[in-house]
Amino acid sequence: MYIQKFMRIVHIAAEFAPIAKTGGLGEVIVGLCRELTKQPENQVEVIIPRYDHIELAKLPNTRMEIPDFKCIGYSNTMWNSTVEGCNLHLLEPRHPSGYFHRGRIYGCEDDLTRFIYFSRAALEYLKEKNEPIDILHLHDWHVSLCAPMLKDLFKEIKVSSLVLSIHNLEYQGKCAPVDLDAIGLDGQSYLTADKLQDDHPSFPTSINLLKGGITYSDAVVPVSPSYAQEILTPKFGFNLDATLRKCRSKITGILNGIDETLWDPSHDPHLKVPYCQSSVLRGKIEVQKEFQLKPTGPWVGAVTRLVPQKGPELIEEALQKTIEMGGSFLLLGSSPFPTIQAHFNQLKQKYQNHPQVFLEYNYNEPLAHKIYAALDYLIVPSHFEPCGLTQLIGMLYGALPIVHATGGLKDTVFDCENSQIPIHKRNGFTFSEPTKSAMNDTLKRAFRLFSAEASTFHSLVRRGMESDFSWKNPTKQYLKLYRKLIKLKSKTGQNNPKSDDPSLCKHPLNIMPNNCRK
């Protein structure tokens, strides 16, 4: 019987909370890596860019690991620290463009160029270290180019298996072949249907970085079981569904967890009166006082990015419907889309000083905690949702989720009035289509429960707060996948197969989405 005891697991990513975070990606990576490190047989490392906002002096055990190593002729420095129990490598390019000295993680015109360079530099570092790796785990399009480069350009790096996590398929990293030429690859040679050529019929001369990660990896992990199924369809596949169906034998969906040390209402430093299951009602009343609203019904709200995926038009509709039914509505979020942000700015003016409305577009962590703590219902009307952390956080803070049943929302929220679902699993409200009428009907059901069936409402609140949304179970699934991959490679003797290997998208592992957590 094959048993993999010691594993060296290296993650390459754009974010790592709390020091480099714009949303859920950073929290997911730190949560998974922290849980992996709890087993002494796992050596876990993370490589991210050293953004200029990261103050090295404030990180524990910081040292200069490699003062200077080259990437396509440019110097780079690798720093090392221990953050959240993880061995963290911070790659600082000495590139004249100042790639990661922009005061931000994303949102630069040359984001593609920045992360393409980072991908190659990260592999140059691993080549310099010359230490065998059992699992190289890539996250999203930012570092997907590492997969083809590892197979074609860095064959001397000893990697047993390569894993790609897809946190959101909508973002794929599309560029021109010349962008690959700039880092020493022959971009034109990757412009074929079986390699990195974009699958969108209108862009046959474009390179798709995420497709490269999918095609060249040994396993692909969408971040929930339902999302793993949905992305195989034209509706949710964003023109990569054909490639994903071709590679479906190496796809497995694993649901994200959340950081229950960060999100814990009973020990939350951002709350004046932390609360637990037995004191949730009193705790919510105390935090609601801080907002100085005067509703006659439940508190409804959202903590979200205002992007098309999240259904901003439905959030606005929920705001109006909540006011109409006597509830209060709280929104924390902002939009990178000027037209959406401008529209919500107008809403803020419209509802300024309204006794039932609180709108804030400058995100801050303490306020997010207070809003979760104040809400009775959390609205999540996403058109699609790879996993979603907000509904999990909401439940831990005693807010019942009202969600569109898609992706990870479908895997974690089960309608409390659906007789087909076992009673012990019912924990919120769902609607099947992301339309105003479907959502409004569900809001009406939620308001009716709140006013007419208080005991049922509070039992659902307690059920959500008792739920285990930690990283324990997802990490077990990742470790199971890692061991399967290593076992397979040990049998076949494969290591870094060539890009023309016909097995690249015909993986022998039949590991389609796991069942969601019980």
Tell me if residue 110 falls in helix, strand or coil: coil
Question: What six digits make up the tokens of 181?
Answer: 């030429």
Peptide bond before 60: cis, by omega within 30 degrees of 0?
A: no
Q: Are residues 217 and 334 in the same domain?
A: no
Q: Are residues 244 and 272 in the same domain?
A: no
Note whether 394 and 388 are within 8 A (CB).
no
Phi, then psi, of 174 in degrees rounded to 5: -105, 135
- Predicted confidence at residue 493, as pLDDT, reads 64
Q: Are residues 211 and 294 in the same domain?
A: no
- Answer with the one of 450, 466, 482 that is the final residue of a domain: 466
- Predicted confidence at residue 515, as pLDDT, reads 37
Q: Decide if 39 is inside a domain.
A: yes
Question: What six digits make up the tokens of 170?
Answer: 């909508």
Q: Which of 123, 176, 175 is nearest to 151 (CA)?
A: 123
**Tokens 């709200």, residue located:** 301
- Predicted confidence at residue 499, as pLDDT, reads 41
Cα–chain center distance at 141: 12
Note whether 310 and 338 are within 8 A (CB).
no
Q: Decide if 368 is inside a domain.
A: yes
- Predicted confidence at residue 450, as pLDDT, reads 97
Q: Which of 228, 254, 170, 227 is nearest to 406 (CA)?
A: 227
Q: Are residues 283 and 395 in the same domain?
A: yes
Indicate the pairing of strand 219-222 with strand 159-166. Answer: parallel
- Predicted confidence at residue 363, as pLDDT, reads 81
- Predicted confidence at residue 494, as pLDDT, reads 58
Q: Are residues 414 and 399 in the same domain?
A: yes
Residue 514 per-residue DSSP state: P
What CA–CA distance (Å, rounded) separates 399 from 378?
Answer: 6
Q: Are residues 118 and 196 in the same domain?
A: yes
Cα–chain center distance at 374: 24
Q: Decide if 52 is inside a domain.
A: yes
- Answer with the one of 466, 484, 504 that is the final residue of a domain: 466
Q: Are residues 293 and 414 in the same domain?
A: yes
Query: Domain count of the chain?
Result: 2
Q: Are residues 298 and 201 in the same domain?
A: no
Q: Decide if 307 is inside a domain.
A: yes
Indicate the pairing of strand 357-360 with strand 377-380. Answer: unpaired
Burial class (CB in 10 A: 0-12, 13-18, 19+), 59: middle
Domain that holds residue 367: 265-466
pLDDT tens, position by position, for the chain (518 residues)?
A: 445 568 999 999 999 998 999 888 999 999 999 999 998 899 999 999 999 999 999 999 999 999 999 999 999 999 999 998 899 999 999 999 999 999 999 999 999 999 999 999 999 999 999 999 999 999 999 999 999 999 999 999 999 999 999 999 999 999 999 999 999 999 999 999 999 999 999 999 999 999 999 999 999 999 999 999 999 999 999 999 999 999 999 999 999 999 888 899 999 999 999 999 999 999 999 999 999 999 999 999 999 999 999 999 999 999 999 999 999 999 999 999 999 999 999 999 999 999 999 999 988 899 999 999 999 999 999 999 999 999 999 999 999 999 999 999 999 999 999 999 999 999 999 999 999 999 999 999 999 999 999 999 999 999 999 999 999 999 999 999 999 999 988 777 655 544 444 344 544 454 444 433 33
Q: Which of 122, 40, 120, 37 is nearest to 83 (CA)?
A: 37
- Assign residue 79 the CATH number of its domain: 3.40.50.2000
Q: Decide if 455 is inside a domain.
A: yes
Q: Decide if 49 is inside a domain.
A: yes
Q: Are residues 76 and 130 in the same domain?
A: yes
Q: Are residues 56 and 149 in the same domain?
A: yes
Q: Are residues 19 and 142 in the same domain?
A: yes
Q: Decide if 498 is inside a domain.
A: no
Q: Decide if 499 is inside a domain.
A: no
Q: Are residues 216 and 347 in the same domain?
A: no
